[in-house]
Amino acid sequence: MKRVAILGGGPAGAVTAERLASSGLRTIVIDEKLAWEKPCGGGITYKAYSKYPYLIENATPKRVVTETYLSTSSTGSARLNLTKPLLIYSRLELNGMLLKRAEAAGAEIEKARVLEIERRSKGWALKTKSGIIDADYCVIATGARNPLRDVGTRLGVHDSMVALGYYVPSEQEHIDIQFFRGFEGYIWVFPRHGHLSVGICGKGESAQAMRARLERYMNERGIAIKGSKFYGHVIPSLERPAWRDNRVAGDGWMAVGDAAGLVDPITGEGLYYAIRSGDLAADVILGDVHPLSELAQAYRATLQRDFTEDLELASRIAKRIFLGRFLLGTVPERMIQFMRRSPTFCELLQDVFAGTQNYLDLKARLLKNLNGTFHEALMNVCLRRLVPGTSRV
C-alpha cells in the first residue's frame, strides 16, 4: 500500500492520518472545511485522555470541569462532583489541534470537497474540483452527513439524533444537564474556553420543537440568545437493528467516527469513539497481518472486541433511560433522587461521566449495589427527619 486517503478532517480522520503518517505511510487528508465549530459539547472523558495523554498534555485552550448539575422539572437539580474531571474544548480548537498533529507527522492536508469516488482495480480515483486524487485505500471520516452513498454507515429514519446549540459569549464553572418527561434526549450547558456551548440533542421530536424547548430553557435561566451564534448538526444514534448490519468497512475502505455510526446512543458522546476508531483503523492498516482484501473483516472484528458490542447494548436500553418509569417516576427523576442520598450511586455516575463504566457491566453493578443504595437513601431520609438541619449527602 503506497497511499491512503482520509476523507474528512475531524477528530477521527485526523487521528487516523497522524498514526499512518507517523509510521511512514503516505497519507492525505481531504476536507472542504477542515477545523470548524459544532454545537456539540466538546467533552473529552477521563477514559479518552488517560488512554491518549496528548488530549490533555497540550497548550490548546480547554476547560477542566469537576462539577455537574443534573436536573428535571419535578425534582430540581442535584450536584455531582467529578473525581475524574471532564475536559471541554471548542470543537474548532480541538479539531485544529488534531489536524496540526497529523500535519506535523507528515500527512498532506488538502482543503477540498470530494465530489465522487470511483473504485478501480488498483485503488481509488477521488474527484475534486481541482482534479483527480489517486489512492490505494480510503478511510471514510466524513461525519454523519456523509455524501458518499456507497461507503460508510447507512442511517435509517430512526438512526440519528439532532443536535442544536448556541455559542454563547458567557462564563460558568460547571456543567448543567436537564432532562424532560417524554423526551428522548437532554439539554446541556458546557463551559468552554471563553464561551458556553448551550444545546439540545434528542430524537422523536422535530428540530423546530427542540429549538423552541431549548430557547424556553435559556430564557428561564437568563442565558442570552441575542448575539449568540446558532448551530445545527446530525449525530448518529443507531437503533438495535442497525448495529447488526452496520456498514463500517468494505472493499478498499473502512469508516471511522460518525461516518461509521460510532456514537453512544444514550449520551450522544462520540469524541472518544471517533479517536478510538481512528486509532484502531490505523492499527489494522499498519498491521501487515492481513492482505488488503481482508482488512474490512479484520476492522469489524477489532471494533466488536473493543466497543461496538457495548454501544449495541446501549441502543437497546436508551429509550428505557429517557422514557422509562421506575418507582412511580421517570428514570432521570429517580436517578437525581438517588444522587442526593446515596454516595454509592454517585460513585457509579462518576464512572459513567468518566467513561470507565461500560453498559455491559452496568446492570450487574446496579444489582450488586442496589441494596446498599436503597439502604443509604432510607437512612438519609430518616436522619433528616430525626435530626433537623442534617444536610443531604
Output the domain CATH number for residue 253: 3.50.50.60
Q: Which of 319, 341, 368 is the last residue of a domain?
A: 319
Model confidence at 387, pLDDT cuts 50, 70, 90, reads very low
Cell of 49: 485522555
Q: Which grid cell sits at 97? A: 489541534
Would you say residue 43 has pLDDT above 90? yes
Q: How confident is the model at residue 372 (pLDDT cuts 50, 70, 90)?
A: low
Is pLDDT of 135 > 70? yes
Which of the two residues, 387 and 49, has the higher pLDDT score?
49
Provide the pLDDT for residue 370. Answer: 63
Look at residue 385 and tell me whether its pLDDT is greater than 50: no
| Total domain count, the chain | 2
- Do 12 and 112 belong to one domain? yes
**Domain termination residue (choose one: 319, 345, 360):** 319
Whether 380 has a pLDDT exceeding 50, the answer reads no
Taking the C-alpha atoms of residue 257 and residue 282, their distance in angstroms, rounded to an integer, is 13
| pLDDT (average), residues 78-91 | 95
Give a yes or no: residue 54 inside a domain: no
Burial class of residue 103 (count of CB atoms within 10 Å of its CB; 0-12, 13-18, 19+): middle
In a domain, 330, yes or no: yes
Residues 276 and 347 in one domain: no
- The whole-number average pLDDT for the span 3-25 is 97
Mean pLDDT, rounded, for 332-357: 91
332 and 312 in a common domain: no
Entry field: residues in the chain: 393
For the record, the C-alpha cell of 101 comes out as 498533529
Q: Report d(CA 202, CA 180) in Å as an integer.
A: 11
What would the pLDDT profile of 156-204 be if each residue is shown by its tens digit? 889 999 999 999 999 999 999 999 999 999 999 999 998 999 999 999 9
Amino acid letter at 362?
A: L
Q: Are residues 268 and 365 in the same domain?
A: no
SS3 86: strand
With bands split at pLDDT 50, 70 and 90, how would you rate the model's confidence at 377? Answer: very low
Q: Are 95 and 14 found together in one domain?
A: yes
pLDDT at 157: 87
Amino acid type, 391: S
Per-residue DSSP letters for 301-340?
HHHIIIIIHHHHHHHHHHHHHHH-EETTEEHHHHHHHHHH
- Pairing assessment for the beta strands 137-140 and 3-7 based on DSSP bridges: parallel
The phi, psi pair for 191, rounded to 5°, reads -80, 120
Is the pLDDT at 227 greater than 80? The verdict is yes
Instruction: Decide if 99 is inside a domain.
Output: yes
Cα distance between the two ends of the chain: 59
In a domain, 264, yes or no: yes
Please check whether residue 329 lies inside any domain of the structure. Answer: yes
Indicate the range of 20-24, 102-106, 127-131 predicted with least confidence. 127-131
DSSP codes joined into one string, 153-205: ----TTSEEEEEEEEES---SSEEEE--TT-EEEEEEEEETTEEEEEEEEESS
* Mean pLDDT for the chain overall: 90
CA distances to 104, 176, 181, 188 from 216, rounded to whole Å, are 45, 15, 15, 13
Of 7 and 33, more confident: 7
pLDDT of the residue at 297? 95
70 is a domain residue? no
Q: Give percent above pLDDT 90 in the chain.
A: 78
For residue 44, is it within any domain?
no
341 and 268 share one domain: no
**By the 8 A CB rule, do 97 and 103 touch?**
no
Question: Can you give the residue range of the structural domain that contains 338?
Answer: 325-386
pLDDT in tens, 276-332: 999 999 999 999 777 788 999 999 999 999 999 999 999 999 999 999 888 778 999
**Is residue 152 located within the same domain as residue 120?**
yes
Do residues 275 and 289 share a domain?
yes
pLDDT band at 145 (very low <50, low <70, confident <90, very high): confident
Residues 365 and 274 grouped into a single domain: no
Residues 143 and 244 occupy one common structural domain: yes
DSSP state of 148: -
The confidence score (pLDDT) of residue 325 equals 85
User: Is 284 in contact with 278 (CB distance < 8 Å)?
Assistant: no
For residue 118, is it within any domain? yes
Domain end: 267, 285, 319, which one? Answer: 319
Beta-strand pair 63-72/76-88: antiparallel
Q: Are residues 348 and 309 in the same domain?
A: no
Which alpha helices (H) appear in the chain, and where do they start and end? Answer: 11-22, 46-51, 91-104, 207-220, 240-244, 271-286, 295-303, 309-323, 331-341, 343-354, 362-386
Listed in sequence order, the residues at least 6 apart from 37 whose beta carbon sits closer than 8 Å to its beta carbon are 90, 91, 92, 167, 231
pLDDT of residue 260: 97
Q: Are residues 374 and 247 in the same domain?
A: no
pLDDT of 390 higher than 60: no
